[in-house]
Amino acid sequence: MWTDLNLESDFRFGDGYDVCVCGSGPAGITIARKLKESGARVLLLEAGGEEWTEESHEFYQGESVGPIEYYGVESGRLRFFGGTSNHWAGSCTRFERVDFERKHPWKATGWPISFDDIYQYEDEARRIVDIDEQSFERPDEPAWKSERFETARYAKSPPTRFGEKYRAELEDAKNVDVVLNANVVDLRLNADKRAVAEVVVADYKGQEYTVAPKFVVIAFGALENARFLLNAHSDFDAGLGNQHDLVGRYFMEHFDVTLGRFVSLGSPFWQARGGFGLNPTAAMMRDKAIGNCFVSLTPGANPKFYGRLAPFRRLMRKITCSSDVLLERARRKSTVLCEGDGVVTTIMEQSPDPSCRVMLDPDAQDRFGRARLMLDWRINDIDRRTIRTLAEEVGKALVTQRAGRLRINRDILETGLPDLGMHNHHMGTTRMAGSPRHGVVDGDCRVHGIDNLYIGGSSVYPVGGGCNPTLTIVCLSLRLGDHLSRKLGKA
């Protein structure tokens, strides 16, 4: 069944759903499809419609209130069928085994499950995001020999738009009902407050509905998962799963830091290759007590000149770059990039920090009366050390590889607070931990203390690694689908 509440006037949810999956991004759709295969009866709820609308998107309004401005609160996510996969860039990497170790000196706990627990689903996940034919091994870079960095694994999805790709399959499935423009506004617990009894849904006309599935999965994305649980205070004042004040805390991003610019030596190193990616080795991460990172080395800066003086400026650059003396003089005044010079950019792990968090705004509510989101994004001393250490080590590696010389971004050296960007990788706000004192969900993604409530997506990540999150979201969603199928006796 495929229903749009905007087009219905007298709708009622049916009975007998095994699982209600709330949210139709990569996590929600993957969980629903996995359950569909097992024969479970599934209800998939999406708050938006089939296309982007202002009416739906405005629920993502929020405020960045931390010491670092966060620009992705509203723009980094999409609230319609297919979710944020609708503007996903398609980059696929995965956590390293070292990311599953307890990281020193981080105070927060790490994954309570293993690398293999997640990536046993990698082949299936690769087919889902259309990278099954691509090699996912470390690229062979014979010229790169370093004990501190190794070449990074990477694959590129077309990218897969989950809504477009899987719509027909879900619409045709006999055991799946998809309902659009269905805003999940609350969860009501049963009498002993240990299980969800009802999911409360509202449409944009103000009509409320309830549905009573056996299991509920919240998969709204890491920012909205936390906002939803904090706002769901019908039964607990602090919100659901928040008995230890952990919901919303430990928000993590991947820092987009430009470590610096490098000049090549005109060496043959760059002639055989374009840019490439590196990861710090496990040994270096342990030795230096730093986080993980995907380091991109992009050579071949080729500034474009425009206007009537363009030919003259091109000529001047050529002349300047051909001479050490002229180049040194020019670089006293400005940054001059010559052919082969490049930049070092990063997808850098942010250490889990309880003060970096999603909160509710006491002064702003959405149209259903639920508090809007406030995000306090901050960087700590561990992160600063990771940034500075990686900058220095990349610089050393470029020298030893005879590949160039790195000039570290001045802000990193002088203030330790570089101009931070982000990648719209929202993680950690309902972190996974074996104990409710350390996390919101257990190793099966079940909310501690509530028997039938589960969380899908990267909000369960206890650490962020140096990897794009989507492939792992899909693996974890397949795992959760399997788990629920077993609980239903349908595996």
Query: Three-state SS across 191-232?
Result: CCCCCEEEEEEECCCCCEEEECCCEEEECCCHHHHHHHHHHC
* Two tokens, residue 334: 């400005």
Contact residues toward other proteins (CB under 8 A) are 260, 263-266, 315, 319, 321-328, 331-332, 338, 385, 392, 395-396, 398-399, 404-408, 410, 413
Name the minimum Å distance from CB 326 to other proteins: 6
Q: Which is nearer to other proteins, 329 or 437 (CB)?
A: 329
Q: Report whether 149 contacts 295 (CB < 8 A).
A: yes
Name the minimum Å distance from CB 284 to other proteins: 12
Name the minimum Å distance from CB 395 to other proteins: 3
Name the minimum Å distance from CB 347 to other proteins: 21
Angle between helices 324-333 and 310-321 (to 10 degrees): 120
Name the minimum Å distance from CB 222 to other proteins: 32
Name the minimum Å distance from CB 210 to other proteins: 57
Angle between helices 26-38 and 470-487 (to 10 degrees): 30
**Beta-strand pair 371-376/357-365:** antiparallel
Q: Which is nearer to other proteins, 170 or 263 (CB)?
A: 263
Residue labelled with tokens 């629903």 = 32
Name the minimum Å distance from CB 146 to other proteins: 12
Q: Which is nearer to other proteins, 214 or 385 (CB)?
A: 385
Output the CA torsion sign for 267, 273, 277, 281.
Answer: negative
Q: Which is nearer to other proteins, 290 or 455 (CB)?
A: 290
Q: Which is nearer to other proteins, 335 or 435 (CB)?
A: 335
Q: Report whether 209 contacts 228 (CB < 8 A).
A: no
Q: CA geometry: angle at 95 spanning 91 and 100, to 5°?
A: 165
Q: Which is nearer to other proteins, 260 or 469 (CB)?
A: 260
Q: Which is nearer to other proteins, 278 or 408 (CB)?
A: 408
Which helix or strand (DSSP H or E) is residue 293 part of? Answer: strand 293-298
